[in-house]
Structure 1
Amino acid sequence: MSAPEKTSESAENNRGDKIFFAAFMTGIAAISFGIGAFVILAEVPPYQSMKNAWRAGTALWEQRTKYSSVERLDFWSPARTEKTGVTINKADKPQKGLTLYSSGDGPHAVLIDMDGNIVHEWRMPFSEIHDETSPIPNPQKDDFMHWHTAKMAPDGDLIVQYTAAGDTPYGYGMAKIDRNSKPVWKYLGTAHHDFSIAPDGRVYALTQEFRFNTYPNRKQLTPPRLDDFAVILSPEGKEIKRVSILDALINSSFANMVDFAPYFSNEDVLHTNTIQLITEETAQNFAKGKAGDVVLSFRDLGIIAVLDMDAEKVVWATRGPWLGQHDPDVLPNGDILLFDNQGQLADPQAGQSRILQIDPETNGITWEYKGTAEQKFDSNIRADQQRLANGNTLITESSGGRLFEVTPEGEIVWEFHNPIRRDDPDNPGQKLIPVVSQAERISDERAALYRDTDFTPTSTNGDTQ
């Protein structure tokens, strides 16, 4: 055979080998995919390891693609109005004091007077307190987190909770900071959403972690699962008690409530978003729990519950005419005040949210506030409310970036719009406003500590970038 013929034959053989190899690898991939799908769907070992790897891969991909800029985080919403700062302040009708709120544009909180002037501001990025003891080895950039909740402690210092976007767990921890934004203590457990401060300075908080345990007769609660814990911190920020909330529910007479979790929440079945301490005062007229117990809110289950921290068991739980609720507060008369995020279905023009005051004995509504076509009220997630000393209610409409105060008759007597705006990267001409997850009115007595400082008030009534 001549040299050209041998070369042609060799090239043909190489092409054939490549085609055969490609077909072989495609077949292996198809078989592997089929076996993998069968293993996962039929739950044949090692299906859990494969399932975990798939979840981790998709989560990493989402983190690298979805969270590419700060303005695309769910800490920002389309601005509903061009109004900024205080837009309503009706003489003597509002409860006087200072208003504390945290904003989705970063780890900071602002204290404003009734005219919207900044009286004080705190700011401390998570990078200043993160260390090797944190269960979050590689936290998100500081720009990708904010203080979901900021509350003033009895001594005037601020306690804050860090929430990150694009990470799970998303709760990064807590810190107590002084008026100069310097840390007093830090707690790097995965604290999330909410906390409650006792009169003696102890802090009742929520933490979260992945667990791999299973429960008899509840195969839907498959591991790994993001579970919540109720923790008690000393006034110095040291953890002194820790209770698994899911264990406390399943080991109670209310365990069957877990079986009605929606399909999408089995990997975060409770999604606890509120913890409120029952004090000696509120326990007097509240028959569902005693002083030292905590009230919890399980968003996706639609449940309000009471957890006995001593017995580590849920002692009361209920569902009612609310949907996606937040912030159930026990009032001095024994009723529960809560933010019903999505339960207002009668009038779509008025918005889907409302504030409900509930009699826990009957689940009957004893008072409510809902929006109108002219004053739409709508926050599908987050948000809270506070019953004030004069009987009014301060409401945080998180998705709208708005705070407002209403009388028992439903009149809006004070209103404030977060003045921060940024351009929407996906919708030219559209402005974005950072969410306001939580706010509280500080009485004049407690606010005196900050009114007497040398901080120069600055008007927030302007469009700030």
Structure 2
Amino acid sequence: MAFTAVPERRRLGGVTLLDPERVDKGLTLIASSWGGTRVRLVDEAGAEVHGWDLPWPPGLGQTITSRGTLLANGKVRDDHPFLSGLPFQAGAIAEFDWDGRKLWEVRHSGHHHDGILLANGNVLLLGIGAVPEEIAARVRGGIGEPGATMWADTLVELTREGDQIWEWRSWEHLDPEVDVIGPGPMDREEWLHGNGIAELETGEILLSARQTSTVLRISRETGEITRRYGSGTLAGQHSPWITDDGTVLVFDNGFNRLDGAPPYSRLIEFDLETGEEVWRYTDPVPWELFSALQSSVQRLPNGNTLACEGLAGRVLEVTRDGDTVWEYVNPHMEFRAFQDSGVRSNRMFRARKFPRDLFRTAGVTLPESERGGTR
């Protein structure tokens, strides 16, 4: 079986830059989105502190809960008419204790990309459904055959026992004249392509819609879309992150920018109430930070911002002023077969950093080398 060449940049594994005085003191959760079943916690030096070997490939959204457990979305294949075989098909979400024991699992056909725990203890998943033809015909933008089936996102709330108690169908609340596919030549087969969700303290939901390059704010009570963040600014973004300052951060992928510049990615922050942009980070050489797909962003306790440049398998931490204080390149190359050949990659869907005190408060025993903080 033949292998494609691995780019030189991807051979640089582990920590390539560390400013011990300004880096946030935490442990970073990573997992390959290309294959494998291991989820890892790494410290500031890039050493693996702990890991979980899961019963299925994670590779999508995963996080550490306040109890010190791992919540992970898993890739469980079925014959869904749209998702089957696609790399963002999920199908399962589960919680695992520190020792890797599964505490519960929920499976749902149509689940893709992301799933979270709500404040009420239930599970919220990104799902998908077929858009009625009469609505699909009115949707503007995109490329493809007008008569083909169009798919759009749902939000599905389930108990941890798998009982469905609420569903939001996007096409019942979207405006075909406002929620336009684009910018750029995106496929009309999907109207939204949701890739991340988050819950506000009010119970409202934020949904990152890649195909329309907006983050939607959704009322749980009425289903109404009450605000669209980033319209006219974003280009195929990922990973909405709610900060303590009443803002939302996104990783703006930018593979389809219409401003005349080469494709480049950036981190952008919007005020939740006004929708105004309040901060952005762009690499000094803009296209040096670029991932057409995947990727994530997170505001850290010390005010820094963590970003995962997904397709490069790179995690960087920048200050408010734009200084890079930590860079980590995922050294774990996973193999995926394609017909008679295969590709090895270190790509990741997202990365998240967690303070050591979270684990101590949860009663988790960290390795002796980690108990005092940064190495």
Output aligned runs, 1:20-419, within 5 Å: 78=7, 80-104=9-33, 105-126=35-56, 145-163=57-75, 167-168=85-86, 170-189=89-108, 190-209=110-129, 211=130, 213-215=132-134, 218=137, 224-234=149-159, 238-249=163-174, 254-260=175-181, 264-279=186-201, 291-318=202-229, 319-342=231-254, 343=257, 348=262, 352-359=264-271, 364-373=276-285, 376-419=288-331
Structure 2 SS opposite 1:352: coil
2:365 paired with 1:444 = no
Q: 1:450 to 1:437 in 2, by over 3 A?
A: farther
Shift in Å, 1:437: 0.9
Whole-Å separation in 2 of the counterparts to 1:404 and 1:226: 34
Q: 1:277 to 1:82 in 2, by over 3 A?
A: same
Q: Which has the larger radius of gyration?
A: 1
Whole-Å separation in 2 of the counterparts to 1:77 and 1:333: 41
Whole-Å separation in 2 of the counterparts to 1:77 and 1:227: 35
Whole-Å separation in 2 of the counterparts to 1:355 and 1:171: 26
Count of aligned positions = 347
Shift in Å, 1:235: 5.2
Consecutive unaligned residues of structure 1, counting only runs of 5 or more, are: 1-67, 127-144, 280-290, 458-465
2:266 maps to amino acid: R
Shift in Å, 1:181: 2.2
Deviations 1:16-73 (A, max 9, x none): xxxxxxxxxxxxxxxxxxxxxxxxxxxxxxxxxxxxxxxxxxxxxxxxxxxx99x78x
Q: RMSD of the alignment, in Å?
A: 3.4
Shift in Å, 1:302: 1.2
Structure 1 SS opposite 2:173: helix
Question: Do the aligned residues in 1 keep the contact of 2:131 with 2:171 (CA within 8 Å)?
Answer: no
Shift in Å, 1:359: 3.7
Question: Do the aligned residues in 2 keep the contact of 1:248 with 1:307 (CA within 8 Å)?
Answer: no
Shift in Å, 1:402: 0.6
Give the TM-score of the pair, scaled to structure 2.
0.80
2:224 maps to amino acid: K
Consecutive unaligned residues of structure 2, counting only runs of 5 or more, are: 78-82, 140-145, 371-375
Question: Do the aligned residues in 2 keep the contact of 1:341 with 1:354 (CA within 8 Å)?
Answer: yes
Deviations 1:89-115 (A, max 9, x none): 212201101111121232321011111
Q: 1:119 to 1:217 in 2, by over 3 A?
A: closer
Structure 2 SS opposite 1:413: strand
Deviations 1:126-168 (A, max 9, x none): 3xxxxxxxxxxxxxxxxxx542111112222211112469615
Q: 1:152 to 1:324 in 2, by over 3 A?
A: same
Question: Do the aligned residues in 1 keep the contact of 2:59 with 2:348 (CA within 8 Å)?
Answer: no
Question: Do the aligned residues in 1 keep the contact of 2:49 with 2:367 (CA within 8 Å)?
Answer: no
Give the TM-score of the pair, scaled to structure 1.
0.66
Shift in Å, 1:122: 1.0
Whole-Å separation in 2 of the counterparts to 1:196 and 1:424: 27
Shift in Å, 1:118: 1.0
Question: Do the aligned residues in 1 keep the contact of 2:131 with 2:152 (CA within 8 Å)?
Answer: no
Deviations 1:358-383 (A, max 9, x none): 24566543221112349921111111
1:182 maps to amino acid: R
Shift in Å, 1:199: 4.2
Greater helix share, 1 or 2? 1
* Further displaced range: 320-329 or 446-455: 446-455
Whole-Å separation in 2 of the counterparts to 1:193 and 1:425: 21
Shift in Å, 1:225: 3.2
Q: Which position in structure 2 is the counterpart of 1:140? A: none
Q: 1:258 to 1:417 in 2, by over 3 A?
A: same
Identity of counterpart residues, as a percentage?
25
